[in-house]
Structure 1
Amino acid sequence: MGEILTDKVALITGAASGIGLATARALIGQGARVVMVDRDRAALDRLAGELGPAAIPQLTDLLDAESCAAMIPEALAKAGRIDILHCNAGTYIGGDLVETDGATIDRMLNLNVNAVMKNVHAVIPHMVERGSGDIIVTCSVAGHSAIPWEPVYSGSKWAITCFVQTMRRQLNRKGIRVGQVSPGPVISALLADWPEENLQKAKDSGSLIEPDEVADAVIYMLTRPRNVTIRDMIVLPTNFDI
C-alpha cells in the first residue's frame, strides 16, 4: 500500500511560483498541510488567501544567512512537525561563463547548492528523532548532462545530484527517504535568462513542460510504499533533444 499524504506536513521552498507552487497545490489536494516558504511576501499573502488554511505562509530569504538558519525552527513552531522537505528554490544563469560575473555566480551557488545543504542539515535532527521523513530536491536534467550553454547552472545541479545521492545513503536506515526530481525545461520565470535562440527553439518544437507535470512526479515519489525510494526521477518534454 502506498503512502497516504492526508495530514502530512510539507515544507516547500520557492513555493510562491513555478514548480514549488504546483507542488504545494498538489499536496494540499492530497490532504497535506504545506508551509509555503518564499521571499515574495505579497505572493505568499495572496496564495494563503486562495489556498486556505492548509497553506501556511512563511517569509524566508534563503540568501540571508540568519533567515535561512531560522527557516526550519520557524516552520516547526508554526506546523508542529515536518514530514516532507522539498528544497525547490533555485535560480538560473545561462550563456557563456565569461558573460557573467563573480557576484552572480556566488548568488547561484548560494541558492542552488549552499541553501539546499543548510536546509537538509537543519531538518535531519527532527526527522531522525521522529524516525521518518521525506526529503526531495528539485534538481535538473542539467545535473546529468553537461549543458554547454549553462555551465554555472549545470555545475550547480551536478553538485546537487552528488549531494542528494550521498545523503540518501546516509539517511536510508534512519527512516528518511531522500531523492531528487530532475526536470527538463519547465515553463517558468527561470527561463527568462535562457539564450533567446534556445528558448524560441524549445517553444517552437514543443520541448517544454508545465510545472504541474513536475509536481505529478513529486507526488508519485512521495506516495510510494516506505520500502521504496525513487532516487531520481527525470521528467523530460518528449521533444526535448538532449
Structure 2
Amino acid sequence: MSESLQGKVAVITGAASGIGLATAKALLEREATVVMVDRNEAALADLVGGRAIAQITDLLDVRSCNAMIPEILEKVPHIDILYCNAGTYIGGELTETTPEAIDKMLNLNVNAVMKNVHAVVPHMIERKTGDIVVTCSIAGHFPTYWEPVYSGSKWAITSFVQGMRRQMIPHGVRVSQVSPGPVASALLADWPEENLRKAKESGSLMDPEEVADAVVYMLTRKRSVTIRDMIVLPSNFDRV
C-alpha cells in the first residue's frame, strides 16, 4: 500500500537537472516540500517557488558542504527525506584520467554523501523517523572495467549505504539506494557522441523520470518496509 508524501520535507542534492530535477518534480506533484540543492544558482532561480525551496550549496567546497544541513534547517522546520543524488562521472581507462579528476569525483560521489548523511542523522535520530536515499549505480554492483574509477566510487557507496541502513534500524530511519543503469543526463556529458547516439538508438539509455519513479516507490512504502536497493536498467542494456 502506498503512503502519502503530503507535507513531507525532502532535500535533494543535484536538483537542478537530471535525476534530481525529475525527482523534485515527482515529489512536488505528491505535495511534498522540496529543498532543491545545487551550486547552479541561476538554474535554481528558474525552478523554485511555492513548495520548491532553493539551497545554493557547492558540495565540493568544504565550508559550503558542511553548512548545507544547518542552513536548510533555518528554512524548513525539519527534514523527512534526504536524497543524496549529486554526482559526477569518469569513464575510460584509468590512465586516461588525472589525479585531480579522481579527487573531484571521489569528493563528490563519496565524501560529500558521507558528510551530508553524517550531518542529517542526529536530526533524524532525534525525531525517530526519516528516509535517506542515495543515488548509486549498476556500476556499484558489477566490476565495470570500462569505468573503474566511477565504479570504485559506487562500490564504496554501496558499502556505506548498506552499513548505515543497519545502523539506523533501531532509530526508525530508513536508508537505501537506487542503482540506475545509463541515464540520459549531464552525467554522460563526456561520453563520445557516437556512443550516445548508438545507446539512444538501441534503447540502452533511459530517461531520468524512470529513476525518479523508483525513488518515489521506495519513499511511499509503509514504514515497516525498506527497499534496500532498486536496480533500474534500460531493457536493452546488455553490458552487465
Give the TM-score of the pair, scaled to structure 1: 0.97
Note the C-alpha offset of 1:39: 0.2
Tell me what 1:201 maps to. 198
Matched, 1:167 2:164: yes
Matched, 1:85 2:82: yes
Residues 123-172 of structure 1 deviation map (CA, whole Å, 9 limit, x = unaligned) = 00000000000000000001011111111001000000000000000001
Residues 74-119 of structure 1 deviation map (CA, whole Å, 9 limit, x = unaligned) = 1111011100000000000111000110000000000000000000
Equivalences, count? 239
Q: Which amino acid aligns with 1:69?
A: N
Residues 55-79 of structure 1 deviation map (CA, whole Å, 9 limit, x = unaligned) = 0001000000000000000111101
Matched, 1:72 2:69: yes
Measure the CA separation in 2 of the matches of 1:172 and 1:21: 29
Q: CA RMSD in A?
A: 0.9
Matched, 1:188 2:185: yes
List alignment gaps of at least 5 residues for structure 1. none
SS where residue 225 of structure 2 aligns? coil
Matched, 1:7 2:7: yes
Residues 172-205 of structure 1 deviation map (CA, whole Å, 9 limit, x = unaligned) = 1110000000000000011112244543331221
Do the aligned residues in 2 keep the contact of 1:12 with 1:87 (CA within 8 Å)?
A: yes
Matched, 1:40 2:37: no
Structure 1 counterpart of 2:149, from 152, 160, 170: 152
Structure 2 counterpart of 1:227, from 209, 224, 227: 224
List alignment gaps of at least 5 residues for structure 2. none
Residues 4-41 of structure 1 deviation map (CA, whole Å, 9 limit, x = unaligned) = 10000000000000000000000000010000000000
Measure the CA separation in 2 of the matches of 1:142 and 1:170: 24
SS where residue 95 of structure 2 aligns? helix
Structure 2 counterpart of 1:109, from 106, 109, 112: 106
- Equivalent pairs: percent with the same residue? 73
Measure the CA separation in 2 of the matches of 1:106 and 1:199: 26
Measure the CA separation in 1 of the matches of 2:160 and 2:217: 22
